[in-house]
């Protein structure tokens, strides 16, 4: 039987809001869904909320309105869930970088950082057209990755994801909360 089948578990230590952060390709959405299902919580993906509200894709927002506008919408959308309880939210890789978002991860959610190595990030994302930042050169992506690492590590409880199945990563998060 799959490990995550069956009734959601009662976990009295589970916080109201769980946020997942990490670089692109770290598995935030896949793992977030599993954790939410296990706890019987609602799952939200910040990028999906943004595209639903904007009525266009992330790539279109970047191209037509610019990254700064995307970042503003991202902050507004993040804080729009601040009152929601029993929630797991997977956030875009850049969300923790903006200073005004950091309070959310520090005080308004219990935050887990899914760490993916740069090599594994490349393997997992390939030339994914939906992610505008993947248009950048490999050198620029390395710089971006390195600049974000300390921010992620400072904001979230670190979970290594390389060579681990999503189910095992979700189990590791649940264990940290038990």
User: Contact between 32 and ligand S3P (CB under 6 A)?
Assistant: no
CB atoms under 10 Å from CB of 51, counted, come to 19
Of all residues in this chain, which one has the CB nearest to ligand S3P in the complex?
Answer: 92
Question: Does 132 participate in binding ligand S3P (rule CB under 6 A)?
Answer: yes
User: How far apart are the C-alpha atoms of 92 and 57, rounded to whole Å?
Assistant: 13
Give min distance, CB of 110 to ligand S3P, in A: 19
118-125 vs 138-155: helix crossing angle, rounded to 10: 110
List 58, 155, 159, 169, residue binding ligand S3P (CB under 6 A):
58
Cβ 98 to ligand S3P shortest distance, Å: 10
Q: Tell me how far the alpha carbon of residue 136 is from its chain's centroid.
A: 21
| H or E element that contains 110 | strand 110-115
H or E segment to which residue 178 belongs:
none
Report d(CA 54, CA 76) in Å as an integer.
12
Under rule CB under 6 A, residue 93 binds ligand S3P: yes
> Of these, 56, 131, 164, 165, which contacts ligand S3P (CB under 6 A)?
131
Is residue 116 within the footprint of ligand S3P (CB under 6 A)?
Answer: no
Q: What phi and psi values does residue 91 have, to the nearest 5 degrees?
A: -110, 155
Minimal distance in Å, beta carbon 86 to ligand S3P?
22
By CB under 6 A, is residue 24 in contact with ligand S3P?
yes
Q: For ligand S3P, give the closer residue by CB, 108 or 133.
A: 133
Pairwise CA distance, residues 63 & 1, whole Å: 45
47 scored as a contact of ligand S3P (CB under 6 A): yes
| Contact in structure between 7 and 38 (CB atoms under 8 Å) | no
Contacting range for ligand S3P; rule: CB under 6 A; set: 1-9, 92-100, 104-112, 150-158? 92-100
- Interface ranges with ligand S3P (CB under 6 A): 24, 28, 47, 58, 92-94, 131-133
């Amino acid at each position: 039987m799959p490990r995550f089948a069956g009734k959601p578990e009662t976990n009295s230590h589970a916080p109201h809001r769980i946020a997942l952060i990490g670089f692109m390709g770290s598995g935030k959405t896949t793992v977030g869904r599993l954790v939410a299902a296990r706890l019987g919580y609602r799952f939200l993906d910040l990028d999906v909320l943004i595209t639903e509200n904007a009525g266009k894709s992330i790539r279109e927002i970047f191209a037509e309105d610019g990254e700064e506008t995307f970042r503003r919408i991202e902050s507004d959308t993040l804080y729009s869930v601040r009152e929601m309880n029993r929630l797991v939210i997977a956030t875009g890789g850049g969300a923790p970088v903006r200073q005004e978002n950091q309070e959310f991860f520090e005080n308004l959610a219990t935050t887990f950082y899914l760490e993916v190595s740069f090599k594994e990030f490349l393997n997992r994302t390939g030339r994914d057209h939906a992610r505008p930042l993947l248009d950048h050169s490999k050198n620029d992506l390395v710089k971006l990755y390195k600049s974000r690492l300390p921010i992620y590590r400072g904001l979230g409880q670190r979970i290594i994801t390389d060579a681990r199945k999503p189910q095992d990563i979700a189990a590791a998060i649940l264990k940290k909360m038990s």
